[in-house]
Amino acid sequence: MSINFPLLLVIAVAVCGALSLFDLLVLAPRRRAAVAAYEGRVGTVDPTTLEELNKEPLLVEYGKSFFPVLAIVLVLRSFLVEPFQIPSGSMRPTLEVGDFILVNKFAYGIRLPVVDTKIIDVGDPERGDVMVFRYPSDPNINYIKRVVGLPGDTVRYTGDKRLYINGELVAEKLLGEEPGSLGSARIYREQLGEVEHLIRKEMNRLRIEPDREWHVPEGHYFMMGDNRDNSNDSRYWDDPDIALEFRGMVPDGNIVGKAFAVWMSWPDPKLDNLPNFSRVGLIH
């Protein structure tokens, strides 16, 4: 069962805020009135009794303590930066399994938490961006891929693993065989829009029929993983519940943000290894 953390965070902030407000408007005046009445009845004030009269209910105390912390986390996570961990190798060699990344939440517009409604338009995804989004067939799952096709584009991927956008071949340069692959995988440098980045191809693997072509509708994006033969991306999504012209596309409403940096790596915590910072840097 997936946990809707943004919803839980919003509820926690609302509850803690309500407790704080209730204390400010109702309970605190009652405590002050009780203290004033006590001081008026006795000649000598007992510090212990005074402390008891001023004491906040335990639930209110916790609510007031957690509210500012949770509110700051909500603002940072919803509107500024959100951390994610890479669970698969679909973005190799750009991102490895266990990389902890930071995602810019305002690069593509300010959105309300939980409902994800855009309230301020800041910018649009650009070709070559590494983007986190909610999987169209199951919005509870976050995916990370590279933006390949923009609204209005025609994307073609051939049987010999060539990428065309609007009829033009995307430039790539062979860098060499992947170390340890025994020649079965090669690393290329690809020029996608203004972004130069690395991609990985398995030379003996074919997953799709040759010369498939897609037209990207308005308000949608075509996504691909840098690990071209090991990525569940726009080339393979075929949800029958989605209209045919939108299958494989990521709607603007599903965008989470732009991945911009790796801040830590922890490939497999089960192996008693420790987090490392060898891969810290900006994402290209």
Active-site annotation holds for 64: no
**In sequence order, what are the beta bridge partners of 104?**
81, 258
* Residue 187 identity: I
Measured CA angle at 50 (ends 49, 51), to 5 deg: 90
Do residues 107 and 257 touch, judged by C-beta distance below 8 A? yes
Among candidate residues 78, 90, 231, 265, the one labeled active-site is: 90
Question: CA 207 to CA 238: how far, in whole Å?
Answer: 14
Supply 108's token pair: 């593509």
Among candidate residues 78, 105, 145, 265, the one labeled active-site is: 145
Question: CA 167 to CA 191: how far, in whole Å?
Answer: 15
Alpha helices by DSSP H, the chain:
5-22, 28-41, 47-54, 58-75
Do residues 50 and 87 touch, judged by C-beta distance below 8 A? no
- Looking at beta carbons, which pairs linking 273-281 to residues 24 or more positions away fall under 8 Å? 275/100, 279/96, 279/99
* Count of C-beta atoms within a 10 Å radius of residue 152: 11
Give the SS3 label for residue 48. helix
Question: CA 223 to CA 108: how far, in whole Å?
Answer: 16
Residue that has been written with the tokens 């490895």 in this structure: 96
Q: Dihedral (C-alpha) 194, 197, 203, 206: value to the nearest 10 degrees?
A: -60
Question: CA 109 to CA 219: how far, in whole Å?
Answer: 14
Active-site annotation holds for 90: yes
Tell me the catalytic residues: 90, 145
